[in-house]
Structure 1
Amino acid sequence: MSLAESPDMKLRFVAPLSFVLLFSLSSCLSAQEVDSQLWTQYLITGKWKNGLRILAEVQPRFGKNYGRTSRFLLRGAVGYQVSPEFSVWVGHAWTPTFTPEFNSEDRWYQLLLWESHFPGFDLINRLRLEERSISGAGGTSFRGTYRLRVEKPLDKKKRLSGILYDEFLWNLNSTPRGAVMGFDQNRTFFGLGYKLTGHTKMEAGYLVNFTDVPSPRRDQRADILFLSLNYNL
């Protein structure tokens, strides 16, 4: 029996994804403050025969109902391909926020990436640890993130694909004037990908981002139009 025909194997991947999607939905329904946003991503990746990998990313984000820049993310990383499916990464990001006022953040991170290809779909597990230095926070904040992504080709040439992922963010400690230990954010994405060329791919879709905000402030939900242009060297 092939992997695609095995009920146990299908359940193995569908069950975790169903759990995180249900958690995301319940979180979003409890949100009280809503904003419409636009996130744009420009991503360059490279991979060589010696196992070395690189990543460079620019991501402007626009909030307040698309009216102003809310965050800017500039990220770079180097990785090593340990096996055909598994790679390890280390990188740095500068990601200042602009609302309600300018606030700078430097972020070192380490990442484990498991990329698997099955009959009919691709599965990516990403586990990341971040060390966040936020101006005015009074200390370094540590945060763990986990993302599960499924991508399924929708045509015979595999140029068009459907994409679904969920990402869970958890603060591992508290800082005097910043992060609070515990659940931080949850992001769920539904969209499409389209290969423009052998090296270039576009992705577009709806991303809902729920943020847990300490009392007495209200929790937040962002309804996001997400647009991405990816170039593979």
Structure 2
Amino acid sequence: MRRSRVDFPLGASLLLASCLSPEAAGIDGMAGAWTSLSLMGSLGSVSPDGRKFKWYVRDQVRLRDDDPPNAWRMYEDLLWVGLGYQIEPHFLVGMGYAHTWLHPLGQPSYQENRPYLEAVLTHEAGGGKLVSRTRLEERVLQQGGEVGVRFREALTWSHPLRFVAEGIDVYVGEELMVCPNFSVFGPAGFCQNRLLSGLTYRLSRSLGLDVGYLGQYMAGTPGTANVWTHNVQFDLHYAFPDH
């Protein structure tokens, strides 16, 4: 995919530098924004045992500032639906599906179907909450059916900021992605890393929002540039109460 070239800021982390592909033609750096709406709940309204089944729906729009002088444009739209089962209070297994519409710069738009399986572990750590999510997903190109497998490991830690106000948490996290097979989506091996931080504010018992930063580093295919985007992240989420 063709990408526009912009200056990459000095002081890139050693972690990102160590991941650079020797075949890649440099790094494209750009600004971005990820905005999403999330709904979640359980099947407790069906039966008391249904509370162990957790569902969620999320739609996220991703913007990029990669087309000067036109500047901001929609690069990607993702829709997730998922269902999980709470085996123990700190352990959940789930499955889901994501559909994504992508609009690369200077290339035809395309769509992906992404079924996935995941396991989520939650721990108390350092006075806060540590969440580990392991996900295995398939990326299926809708216009041709080619399949790329991707393994994702995410780790997020959050801590309440009661000295500021009740209902405010700070969070930091990282997600690493590895592709076991070569496909139209890229070569096998390391493919992406995400670093995130921000604040969660609970507006009510059910309604909350996350505001923060997400740095996304994506390894390029041979002959193309790696991509590093600095994204403002905003998520409005609503949790339906159990019955």
TM-score, scaled relative to structure 2: 0.80
Asked if residue 230 in structure 1 is aligned to residue 225 in structure 2, the reply is: no
Q: Deviations along 1:71-128, whole A, 9 cap, x unmatched?
A: 0000101110000000011111101101223111000000101122346100100000
Unaligned stretches of 5+ residues in structure 2: 1-12
Amino acid at match of 1:230: H
Distance 2:83 2:205 in 1: 22
SS of equivalent residue, structure 1 residue 198: coil
Q: Deviations along 1:129-157, whole A, 9 cap, x unmatched?
A: 00110245662111000000000111156
SS of equivalent residue, structure 1 residue 77: strand
Tell me: CA distance 1:26–1:164, structure 2 relative to 1, closer, same or farther (3 Å).
farther
User: Does the aligned pair in 1 maintain the 2:161–2:169 contact within 8 Å?
Assistant: yes
In the TM superposition, what are the counterparts of 1:66-145 in structure 2 within 5 Å? 67-100=72-105, 101-118=108-125, 120-135=127-142, 139-145=146-152
Asked if residue 155 in structure 1 is aligned to residue 169 in structure 2, the reply is: no
**Identity among equivalent pairs (%):** 24
In the TM superposition, what are the counterparts of 1:1-233 in structure 2 within 5 Å? 23-24=15-16, 27=19, 32-47=27-42, 48=44, 49-50=48-49, 51-65=52-66, 67-100=72-105, 101-118=108-125, 120-135=127-142, 139-155=146-162, 158-175=166-183, 177-233=184-240
Distance 2:189 2:204 in 1: 42
User: Does the aligned pair in 1 maintain the 2:156–2:172 contact within 8 Å?
Assistant: yes
What root-mean-square deviation, in Å, do the aligned CA atoms of Structure 1 and Structure 2 show?
Answer: 2.1
SS of equivalent residue, structure 2 residue 15: helix
Distance 1:136 1:205 in 2: 34
Tell me: CA distance 1:123–1:108, structure 2 relative to 1, closer, same or farther (3 Å).
same
**Residue 190 of structure 1: how far off its partner (Å):** 1.3
Distance 2:103 2:221 in 1: 20
SS of equivalent residue, structure 1 residue 23: helix
Q: What is aligned with 2:7? A: none
User: Does the aligned pair in 2 maintain the 1:73–1:93 contact within 8 Å?
Assistant: yes
SS of equivalent residue, structure 2 residue 102: coil
User: Does the aligned pair in 1 maintain the 2:186–2:220 contact within 8 Å?
Assistant: no
Higher mean alpha-carbon deviation, 100-109 vs 80-89, is at 100-109
**Residue 218 of structure 1: how far off its partner (Å):** 1.2
Distance 1:148 1:22 in 2: 19
- Tell me how many residue pairs correspond in the alignment: 211
Give the structure with the higher percent helix. Answer: 1
SS of equivalent residue, structure 2 residue 110: coil
Tell me: CA distance 1:37–1:105, structure 2 relative to 1, closer, same or farther (3 Å).
same
Higher mean alpha-carbon deviation, 149-158 vs 123-132, is at 149-158
Distance 2:157 2:120 in 1: 14
